[in-house]
Structure 1
């Protein structure tokens, strides 16, 4: 009876009892069924908030009723220089079904600019040190009309390594430097188009991070900042956010920035994959049939084909709010709506936290979730899906279910390969890695060339990925890679391995005791555990 009562604490918090159905867990490109121990707490994402019925109208209203400044049309004059910066392919995940929200915003804004005699307009993808988007990806994001009119001379990726294309803005009082894209910084008006997927996105981070260079990013993408962020999904407790605010206010002192932010719901899938968002106890016969059909298909395909199939399924997110204007008031409204969608009230920390690692991250779109990215999703993103205090007790065990294959994308992640195979066997100490090797990778001419001329992440990027797991690494007692198909990848990462989840839970209980409380994050999870 007690278990039945606990099942009612919140619709997104479910406790496993004797008649509970097995749970679906992602493990890379696979989906497995697992019977969890009785009493395990499973956190599901909240039900999606209904999307706005007319997002075009919502965008137009936001442009004409901004927060903290004049309407966009009132700021426009013939002959002025305008730059529009847009989030890159790392948002949202997976890439949206077309038309992308950015396409809708751009078409409305560009029509307004044309109507007011503004023809000196550039569109810049704010990719910071991420890989540059490919031509196909750029066209898909903004649609053929915008692409054909602006690409390639007036629609392009930010280049953080083009010295002439960057300009020094200044320093904060804490001696944090900031250099930005010259075209954006020297425009009469900079319009930033953001899609807010998690609370870490948007706000002052948009311009100060998306359009900066390596030296600027280095001031806050570093181990101590991440250790001091509790968590970086909770802006009020995030040192990373505090540093971005300082830099963003420096931006606002020197640039005229008009933000357009969109909050979206968490409806990642519809149709034949919508069952992944549901409680398995509530599955219909049709849901079970869809899962079995997907699992049968996946089992027949080699891993690259499974990956390609998963990456071909666009997300079905819907706009639930749109706000425009000055940075702080806009982002405050966006965060309020985002937390309304994501916050899950949770009482009590757990001893063992279990999460499957799906083939989804901001850094492997149309690519491989390599070992460093498995690490950043587990110890970084999934661990940090909380506010007030961690879901996992200090010294607890984190179980990640993923095959941990030793596979890298040589086009997108070349510096990751050297980082993983050369540096991590020497040390996993983030501070040593930063002091001894980060600049070597950042200044490597080959990595710079692959970033600038190809589609590679910047040479320093694997360091940032390692740092982003730093607060998780300092908090957990052990990490166990369940389902790992080899021993050396978990060993290099400093983890233990288990053949399956049952073995991993037994190992965790041997550390934490047989009465250890277990919580599972049900994936795909876009939610914030609001810890009491």
Structure 2
């Protein structure tokens, strides 16, 4: 037997695992270079595009419009702090003045930045320098959205007008393990989308579709739909979007890629596989340590905690990580409560599932709850997620919730919302393991992910 320290909300918890259990965590590897040098290399030799300074020098004189969009604070601070100064320096050196540049937070359906949050994320000097030209995207602002038609999948392409109509659009993002297949990136598709644009790639027929939940990340339906939207955006512009995407770990930036979305994907994904994919065997039980907050807010929110344990189940190559009917255990101190001020629509969506126990029924309720004017107003005021947001979580969690025979939250406070979600609450991890063995057998093969949400996420080559 071995004792392993797991994340358990605000604390760490030692859990004794039986012999044969496999513990998988992110393992640091050497950075490709010093962050500043990596950024310089990427911007001076983008993949599929001229160097940034040359791109900027070709812009029309007078009334130039440059937009720098960037991932919201759910993504690592290290990326924007390393990349933004280098981007601004090259633009200024090419004759693009600060007055020609607008910075846009690509927050999609996530809460908007306050001025204080902008200062903390971008740096107070940047906020002071650009003032009112630092702005939030609003997926409901019809005056600041433009419809670009539809993709071959029939998905409406509705995106931020400032970004699309700019002379040069630079998107600063990240390459990280993505629940919907492969790795994140091409952030303009999601972060700058309008509410109608989300409906295609983010619905149950997109991220929740079985074709988005198999072992070939390049061929997953969500990734194909995302690439199609990105292509429409590029065709609508005078020049393709220049993406600048970083890989990060606890040390900060470890690699940087710049260029067109397709060229970055071809170069970055093999490197990401090397850093973030770990070998694993199929498991009867998967145990996930849950940090106090991750992805979309605090783990006290039961739908976020549920997403925390379902997320790794989709990240397999070769074979599924969890055997059919297996058990997933979350280690947490979650109170099982929703803050309606910051996560409107969550309780309503959970209640729908609790009554119907049907993902199809929940998806159909999205237009009613996601379109509720009072709930939408909270998002537009700036402090809350959009009320459509919980429906995307149900879509991404459907795979794990249907594959698992039981989902047990060890250490959570019992409550109605867990029951509505179909989760079982156990007092301790030991109790949860005992329940799991009762379901899958005493010789269950266990995979433990003790720091899945406090270290960079990993994917699994299962065989």
What is the TM-score with the length of structure 2 in the denominator? 0.91
Distance 1:161 1:487, change over 3 A: closer
Give 1:259's aligned residue: 243
| Root mean square deviation, CA, Å | 2.0
Give 1:90's aligned residue: 74
The answer as to whether partners of 1:86 and 1:124 remain within 8 angstroms in 2 is yes
* 1:118 aligned onto 2:46: no
Q: Distance in 1 between matches of 2:442 and 2:392?
A: 37
Which residue among 414, 417, 421 is the counterpart of 1:493? 421
Give 2:222's aligned residue: 240
Give 2:321's aligned residue: 391
Q: Distance in 1 between matches of 2:439 and 2:459?
A: 27
What is the TM-score with the length of structure 1 in the denominator? 0.80
- The alpha carbon displacement at 1:74 in A equals 1.4
Q: Distance in 2 between matches of 1:233 and 1:130?
A: 28
Q: Distance in 1 between matches of 2:274 and 2:333?
A: 34
SS at match of 2:347: helix
* 1:69 aligned onto 2:49: yes
* 1:442 aligned onto 2:370: yes
The answer as to whether partners of 1:132 and 1:454 remain within 8 angstroms in 2 is yes
Q: Distance in 1 between matches of 2:343 and 2:242?
A: 33
Q: Distance in 1 between matches of 2:25 and 2:80?
A: 28
Gaps of 5+ in 2: none
Give 1:408's aligned residue: 338
- The alpha carbon displacement at 1:53 in A equals 4.7
**1:361-389 deviation per Cα after TM superposition (whole angstroms, max 9, x unaligned):** 1211xx5640110111111x222232232
- The alpha carbon displacement at 1:331 in A equals 2.4
- The alpha carbon displacement at 1:233 in A equals 8.9
- The alpha carbon displacement at 1:230 in A equals 5.3
Which residue among 500, 506, 531 is the counterpart of 2:434? 506
Give 1:188's aligned residue: 167
Q: Distance in 2 between matches of 1:323 and 1:513?
A: 47
Give 2:282's aligned residue: 349
Q: Distance in 2 between matches of 1:155 and 1:202?
A: 24
Which residue among 454, 459, 462 is the counterpart of 1:528? 459
**1:6-45 deviation per Cα after TM superposition (whole angstroms, max 9, x unaligned):** xxxxxxxxxxx4xx3x111122222111111222222122
Give 1:165's aligned residue: 144
Give 1:220's aligned residue: 201
SS at match of 1:66: coil
SS at match of 2:309: helix
The answer as to whether partners of 2:215 and 2:318 remain within 8 angstroms in 1 is no
Give 2:21's aligned residue: 40
The answer as to whether partners of 2:70 and 2:104 remain within 8 angstroms in 1 is yes
Residue correspondences, number: 448
* 1:131 aligned onto 2:115: no
Give 1:101's aligned residue: 79
- The alpha carbon displacement at 1:217 in A equals 0.8
